Structure 1
Amino acid sequence: MDRMFQDFGRKLPAAGAAVTSFPAIDVHDTDKGLELTAELPGIAEKDIDVSVSDRTLTIKGEKTAEKTVDEKDRYVSERSYGSFRRVLTLPFEPDASKVEAHMDNGVLTVVLPRPAETAEKTKKIEVKRKG
């Protein structure tokens, strides 16, 4: 009996373990700004809303079931449906009129150009060896 409880404790996620968010995203810093990609398989472009306000990017949408199945006829159901929302704080305020978004094979790409004044204020400083 003691062994059962010891094994049970090992199967639980560790405190503070990372919780995954939907959609899964990657953000890359480029010389022109940021490029974000988000995995949105099975979601149509018309069901996705991307908006920028100040330094905040919001991606939201809804994944709907293709057809309704009576619960008594359901054998296995692992796919998820419903609304989602992901909000990210950006390191700069992009020019909203220049932000672009497109979908390709279930991957949303959002390009957020760095504003001119931010680009000019940031200068890469080379670190040299002394002597």
Structure 2
Amino acid sequence: MAIVRWSPRRSLLDLYNEVNRIFDTFFSGIEEEEDTLVTNFYPAVDIEEREKDYYVTVELPGVKKDDVKITIKDNMLTISGEKKSEKKEKGKDYHRSERVYGKFQRTFRLPDMVETENVQAEYKDGILHITIPKKKEAMAKEIEIKVK
């Protein structure tokens, strides 16, 4: 039988992520799908609905641009990649090592009324910004009411 190290911090983080996922399902037009990749590195994501688009911000500190992949298939936005560990030098005796490395994947179901062919992404200083435009028919229209 393998001995597995239990981390109360990790368990609390898992609970926090699950509660956030449940709330996101109820209060958001964009739902997160179950991650198919088990990982210790779970980047934080904000999704903002604006008038003309959805704006996604992903925190990826320590991840290189070339190690990030964005795909959209069947209205599913997937952000995946890998946070590679630094090489640990032999002879160093770590008293504490809390940084997390590894592969990650976050997948979100997009609303039907988005233009997936016009998505734009920018990566700067460990922050990934993705802009997903809404289709014109999905944007709010202002109708003037004439008083007679």
Question: How high is the TM-score relative to the length of structure 1?
Answer: 0.70
Q: Name whichever of 88-97 and 30-39 sits farther off.
A: 88-97
Aligned equivalents of 1:67 and 1:17: distance in 2?
A: 31
Change beyond 3 A, Cα 1:69–1:124: farther
Is it true that 1:65 corresponds to 2:63 in the alignment?
A: no
Q: Name whichever of 22-31 and 73-82 sits farther off.
A: 73-82
Runs of 4+ aligned structure 1 residues displaced above 3 Å come to 122-125
1:98 aligned partner: 118
Aligned equivalents of 1:52 and 1:90: distance in 2?
A: 9
Aligned equivalents of 1:54 and 1:93: distance in 2?
A: 12
Out of 89, 92, 101, the residue aligned to residue 81 of structure 1 is 101
Aligned equivalents of 1:90 and 1:96: distance in 2?
A: 9
Q: For this pair of structures, how many residues does the alignment match?
A: 109
Return the offset for 1:124.
6.9
Question: How high is the TM-score relative to the length of structure 2?
Answer: 0.63
- One-letter identity of the residue aligned with 1:19: N
Greater Rg by CA: 1
- For the aligned residue pairs, the C-alpha RMSD in angstroms reads 2.6
Aligned equivalents of 2:93 and 2:81: distance in 1?
A: 26
Gaps of 5+ in 2: 1-10, 19-40, 144-148
Aligned equivalents of 1:17 and 1:80: distance in 2?
A: 18
Identity of aligned residues (%): 34
Return the offset for 1:40.
0.4
